[in-house]
Structure 1
Amino acid sequence: MPFYEFKHHIPLTISQKDELAAAITSIHSTHFSTPKLFVNVSFHDVSQTSTYIAGKRRTANHLSAHVRNGPSRSRKDWAHLTSEIQAAWDKIVGPGLPKVRRGDPEVDTSLRSIVLLGDMIYMTELGFTVPPAGGDVQWLQENWGEFNRRAEGGDEDFRGMVEEVKERKLMETDGMTAQQKLEEALGWGDSA
């Protein structure tokens, strides 16, 4: 459902891309009730693209994402998600690249920006209309028969998703953690 797009000026190895994609998928799907099958991540090498910051030609690494925004997702939720993504980048990509010569300047490997765009107004993916933010549980329930049919028909992606939904009990929790349910019942926290 979300589309994360890395625009990187530094070379990323296949294993770094694999690890970043796995990290983003895990982070997004655990923050929200999105099944992993519907988290999309792509990488675009922009080393040959002219980018300007403050009117000057610069190189930088950026992440933008088209996400579903709504009342079930607070600014605090997004801030926490972006801090985890930043930590994953720092861990996987790390500081600095090897220099060819000692006198060469340090290459900036940092992730300069993370921009989340809550602009998804309608979407279909894998033949299913994607629900609005916060509507994942009802959507899973409404489409469960078809998800199972595809899984039983040999579709490995849907087999994995069905297993994930069962393991995470996504249809039983209405997408909220026990802590969030307690806060809602008591009128505390973001649920107040």
Structure 2
Amino acid sequence: MPLYEISHITPLSPSQKDALAASITQIHSHLFTTPSLFVNVRFTDISRQDVYVGGRKNAQTSSSHTIIAGREVGFELPPAGGDKAWLVENAASFRRLADEGDEDFMELVREMEGREDLY
């Protein structure tokens, strides 16, 4: 039986969980032609768990978390497969943030400069 695990930081209301579980179940059962009864969905609030980003321990609610920090300074995340173009497009802004002392962006710039496949 399929098990979909939803790990979330942002609190989800019971009605939000109900809607997500119903949608996932409907998609799976129709895509794979299986009874809805076989589809399991589990929600786990991970807001109090240790999370590592880029191999380093990082507080999920911290403004230094790269994804959260990126959103806070106006960067939208790239679509799947669009990472390299997104890095090139935003390189100057990432360097500026790194020069201002943001440790996550300093690490991002170091990695961009050290990997030909990224930049």
User: TM-score, normalization: structure 1?
Assistant: 0.31
Name the structure, 1 or 2, with higher relative contact order (CA <8 Å, separation 6+).
1
User: TM-score, normalization: structure 2?
Assistant: 0.48
